[in-house]
Structure 1
Amino acid sequence: MTIHIAEGDIAVRTRAIVADLRFLEGPLLPILHEVQREFGYVPQEALPVIAEELNLSRAEVHGVVTFYHDYRDHPAGRHVLKLCRAEACQSMGGDVLAERVKTLLGIDFHQTTLDGAVTLEPVYCLGLCACGPSAMLDGEVYGRVDDQLAAELVAEVCR
């Protein structure tokens, strides 16, 4: 279920977030994190507001949002499953794991299941290089993810 937020509401809520955080040193990243926490993603309508309030160009704000993989430009599913795509995890079977999870969910990276249950995202290092391949489900990290654990994680979020 997608909740529509009026563009004016996005602007008002974004201005409030910026007002609370603008005095931090280097406030752009904390502001973007808070906007994403508030809306579930970083709405395009928020970017010019942030740019204006911080006296930045829209291009600068857009560049930061698109550079960092953690920022989403659309709402995520109720659960977010991230699979490590870094070299250490790939060398431990990460590519096979990714294909298995995509098949189990019926989606590709950056997509959400039709029922809105799960969004699948690639991530480039979860810090478990010695325990690859690794995954993160709703902020909880899992190492040595094999077919069985992958199936269990998918079953857990698709209930």
Structure 2
Amino acid sequence: MDMQGRIKSVLEQHPTQPENLLPTLHAIQDAVGFVPPEAVADIASAFNLSRADVHGVITFYHHFRTTPPATHAVQICRAEACQSMGADQLLAHAEQTLGCCLHGKSADGGFSLEPVYCLGHCATSPAIMIDDAVHARVTPARFDRLIAKAKETE
């Protein structure tokens, strides 16, 4: 099924009362990886809302993406424990290595770089998460090895 068909299917499966807009947007992002701007009109029509209302919700919540996601998501912990153990330096290294800043994507679309506020590994900080795997005591050299390993899986 193409992207438009998957979005239509999600819209048909969810009740269209205004309080269901967020769950529906989550379902659309789960189904296609992001909420395409060209789908806003259909979403608004289904919920009897304006396009501006739907766009406002999508852009208000940082969780929603309006462009396809990168192949791999890299999250660097920005909490105090990780910062005290070198997360700021690790972030600077990650930005240089990936060629993007926080909330950005590498030029090849392979990696996104996002902040996260506590991965629960304070005693073994700094911590990062690549896709669904948490890594602790990450140094710049270890970061490079983890990124190289992630590139092998593409």
TM range (shorter): 0.7 to 0.9
Alpha-carbon spacing, 1:22–1:111, altered in 2? closer, same or farther (3 Å): same
CA distance in 1, matches of 2:81, 2:54: 32
Alpha-carbon spacing, 1:67–1:94, altered in 2? closer, same or farther (3 Å): farther
Unaligned runs of 5+ in 2: none
Identical columns (%): 39
Alpha-carbon spacing, 1:101–1:27, altered in 2? closer, same or farther (3 Å): same
Q: 4+ residue stretches of structure 1 with deviation over 6 A?
A: none
Alpha-carbon spacing, 1:134–1:60, altered in 2? closer, same or farther (3 Å): farther
Alpha-carbon spacing, 1:38–1:148, altered in 2? closer, same or farther (3 Å): same
Alpha-carbon spacing, 1:152–1:25, altered in 2? closer, same or farther (3 Å): farther
Q: How many angstroms does 1:25 deviate by?
A: 9.3
Alpha-carbon spacing, 1:53–1:128, altered in 2? closer, same or farther (3 Å): same
Match of 2:111 in 1: 118
TM-score using structure 1 length: 0.75
Q: Which moved more, 1:148-157 or 1:16-25?
A: 16-25
Check whether the contact 1:42–1:73 (CA below 8 A) recurs between aligned residues: yes
TM-score using structure 2 length: 0.77
Corresponding residue pairs, total: 150
Match of 2:128 in 1: 135
Q: How many angstroms does 1:107 deviate by?
A: 2.3
Check whether the contact 1:76–1:119 (CA below 8 A) recurs between aligned residues: yes
Alpha-carbon spacing, 1:23–1:57, altered in 2? closer, same or farther (3 Å): closer
CA distance in 2, matches of 1:21, 1:140: 31
Is 1:101 aligned to residue 94 of structure 2?
A: yes
CA deviation string 1:26-84 (max 9, x = no partner)? 42222222212222211111222222212333333223222222221111222111223
Is 1:50 aligned to residue 40 of structure 2?
A: no
Unaligned runs of 5+ in 1: none
Q: Which moved more, 1:149-158 or 1:82-91?
A: 82-91
